[in-house]
A and B are shown apart, each in its own frame.
Chain A
Amino acid sequence: MTLQSNAGDLRAAKLLMWLYVDTGLAVFALMALAGLAMRAEQAHWLAFAPTTFYSLMTLHGIGMLASMAVCGMGALWYIMRADGPLDERVAWWTYGLLLAGTVAVVASVIPGKFGAAWTFLYPLPFIGTYWPSWATGSFLVGLALVTLGFTMWCAQMLGCVLSRYGGLRGAVGWDYVVHAKEFAAAGRTPPPPYAFAALLMGVDGLLTGTVGMVIGIAMFVHWLDPSVPLDPLWAKNLTYLFGHAFANLTIYMALACVYVALPRYTGRAYHTSTVLAVAWWGTLLFVAIAYFHHLYMDFVQPRPLQYIGELASYLSALPTAVVSIFGATLLVYRSGMRWTMGSLFLFAGLIGWLIGGAGALLDATIPINFSLHNTLWVPAHFHTYLLEGVLLFIIGWVFMMLEERAKRSSSVAVRWLVGAGIFGGGAIFLLGFYAAGAYEVPRRYAMQPPPGPEMASWASVGAIILLIGLALCLAEAVRLATTRPVGEPAVASASPAAAS
């Protein structure tokens, strides 16, 4: 594979990537402070009204997911752009729609006090509300704009992989897997690993965005005319299909960063194999159907869907643990890898993904979910997955770009300091959730029963240490970004996104 775009083209593309990633990380930082405020309130360190707590919770939830998605979208878009032409106008329009949607959502929550949680489960946004009706409308409009932008971006990804790799058959690697001999004899090559992440966004992302728009529009119609009824079970299925898949997709976008960045640190190649292609087929399916586990406690849900939910949740571990994470780990094993901030975060992200996945798998077991559903065990595992998985992949990617630009890396002392803050503080913060979940403390409580407040105190201490680590990380990133590069910029290598 060769780099098809010239350096001038890529400069504009890189600007776009930094715009997405920096915006996402800035939103993350604000939402992290909101999260700390909520944990401190649950620990009785701070005192504010439940209305403020639930509005903050709504903003924190949607803001965090959007921030990770925006970072992943920026990075994956750049990776695909570095490999060939991609219309930048779509990325700009998407960014504009995401921004406009964010403004509407923030308006609904901050002056409007909207507080139906980011899941806005029907009919909560309309009944017994403590916020004005316009705030619900503003939230739904904001959500529609964000979803429209996301869907447009996913459509571009789909178009990209279909045109580059020979339609759907080529993009999924069908002939490469099923007609291997003829495929090789014809001198064809399968799509690179990161292209499967783009394919996933093109297929499952498009599905997710469409579902999000359907439920959003249905609720908007209900907002306009409350006499138009919605079926609560139908609405719940659509809401969780959208919410679960959207959250899940963030890590697969970030996985593309791992595919591209880890080979640079290890000096080894990350090629598409038959196993990798088949694993992505599984991921294409499981991302779309694992969401049924969110409805385990809705006993009126058709029973086969509950069985499918448990099985799909379990099976989603196979492509992740056996192929993606195992493959990345094998790349590092006895590789003589350069340990820098970038490689440290990328590797640590694999650990966070595995541990968060283990917590999720336990909760995906229906008899266990009977006791843990909607306890703090749920935020425990998804905070692990997002904070010590997706976020670390993104920060790893950022540092890889900065280190390549500056042609230098951080000192060992800085790495230890940042690592102690992010991993040590992160572990304490997350254990506060897991332990409270083990004691079956309910989630989304402004005031928790014991031992919730005690666990929240520990979690708050962990969160503060974690935030100090992230602040040090930011300072180091700024130092690298403002360091004059040593010699000339790196020469484009055989992998994409090389002209950093």
Chain B
Amino acid sequence: MTLGLAVFAAFLVLAGGIIAIMLAVALSSRARSEQAAVQAQGYALRRWWFFILAAAIAASFIISLPSFPYPTHAATAGGEPHYQVIARQYAFDVPASVPADTPLVFDVTSKDVNHGFGIYDPSGALIAQVQAMPDYVNHLPFTFHVRGRYTIRCLEYCGVAHAVMQAGFEVR
């Protein structure tokens, strides 16, 4: 399962839970209780809700940290092979091939407007991306583990041929 589909599944569970709880609240409104009594219960529940959500936020933040895609100083300093990527309306200059199972860095920039350098694997899943900006070079560290033909798509709206701005390379 791709990351996108896993996120979709998580989203459906969350949305289903939200709808179920809110429907229960809507149905409860057929009865009537004093506001003070409901508030006392509600505020106690809210305290728990706050701590649960705050804990979930803290946990999500901490868990996500090691998976941040940003380059380390060692990678940008030239410790790993670098491949230049230049985007322009409406094409990419990319290497014809890159090695598998080797940590590498794409040095991505643009000759004109903002573009997005989105890498789709041979199965069609978006596995990595970075913005291609004019006047700046974004360093994208990545290691490919699956050999095959990868497709590059522009992921930042860049003008009339944005949807057909594509390229590709082999991972060998």
Contacts and interface: CB of A to CB of B under 8 A. Distances in A.
Contacts of B154: 442
Interface in A98-131: 115, 117, 119, 121, 123-124, 127-130
A318 B89 contact: no
Given A332-B29, A334-B28, A358-B14, A434 B8 contact: yes
A334 B136 contact: no
A169 interface: no
Interface string B112-130: 1110101010001111111
Interface string B48-63: 0110011001001100
B57 to A, nearest CB: 4
A372 B4 contact: yes
A298 B126 CA distance: 17
B135 A231 contact: yes
Contacts of B70: 299, 303, 306
A447 B112 CA distance: 23
Interface string A331-343: 0111111010000
Main secondary structure on A side of the interface with B: helix
A447 to B, nearest CB: 5
Contacts of B38: 330, 333-335
B160 A371 contact: no
Interface in A234-278: 236, 266, 268-269, 275
B138 A298 contact: yes
Contacts of B159: 54, 124, 127-130
A119 to B, nearest CB: 8
B163 A447 contact: yes
B130 A297 contact: yes
Contacts of B50: 318, 322
B15 interface: yes
B35 A268 contact: yes
Interface string B147-172: 00000011111111111100000000
Contacts of B140: 299
Interface string B21-38: 010011011111101001
Contacts of B112: 123, 127-128
A124 B158 contact: yes
B107 to A, nearest CB: 11
A311 B61 contact: yes
Contacts of A448: 163
Interface in A364-378: 365-368, 370-375, 377
Contacts of A51: 160
B146 interface: no
Interface stretch (A7-15, A70-78, A346-354): A346-354
Contact of B139 (A54, A275, A299): A299
A184 interface: no
B160 A115 contact: yes
Given A371-B3, A444-B157, A334 B163 contact: no
Contact of A442 (B18, B57, B127, B153): B153
A165 to B, nearest CB: 24
Contact of B129 (A127, A337, A351, A370): A370
B7 A372 contact: yes
A413 B168 CA distance: 56
B10 A232 contact: no
A438 B126 CA distance: 10
A354 B61 CA distance: 20
B94 to A, nearest CB: 17
Most buried by A among B39, B70, B139, B159: B159
A496 interface: no
Contacts of B100: none
A314 B68 contact: no
B57 A315 contact: yes
Residue among A231, A233, A355 with the highest chain B CB neighbour number at 10 A = A355
A50 interface: yes
A359 interface: yes
Given A127-B112, A128-B112, A329-B25, A317 B57 contact: yes
A363 to B, nearest CB: 8
A323 B45 CA distance: 12
Contacts of B22: 329, 347, 350-351, 354
B133 A336 contact: no
A236 B153 CA distance: 21
B64 A334 contact: no
A326 interface: yes
Nearest to A58: B157
A500 B91 CA distance: 59
A330 B39 contact: yes
Nearest to A121: B114
A332 B25 contact: yes
Interface of A: 50-51, 54, 115, 117, 119, 121, 123-124, 127-130, 231-233, 236, 266, 268-269, 275, 297-300, 303, 306, 310-311, 314-315, 317-318, 321-323, 326, 329-330, 332-337, 339, 347, 350-351, 354-355, 358-359, 362, 365-368, 370-375, 377, 434-435, 437-440, 442-449
10 contacts: A123-B112, A233-B136, A298-B138, A299-B131, A306-B70, A318-B53, A354-B18, A373-B116, A445-B162, A446-B163
Given A128-B159, A375-B155, A377-B4, 20 more contacts: A54-B162, A115-B160, A123-B113, A124-B113, A128-B112, A130-B159, A269-B35, A298-B131, A299-B131, A310-B61, A334-B32, A336-B29, A339-B29, A358-B11, A366-B68, A370-B129, A374-B155, A440-B124, A442-B163, A446-B162
**Top 5 A-B pairs ranked by shortest CB distance?**
A336-B32, A438-B8, A440-B126, A367-B67, A445-B163
Interface of B: 2-5, 7-8, 10-11, 14-15, 18-19, 22, 25-26, 28-33, 35, 38-39, 42, 46, 49-50, 53-54, 57, 60-61, 64, 67-71, 89, 112-114, 116, 118, 120, 124-131, 133-140, 153-164
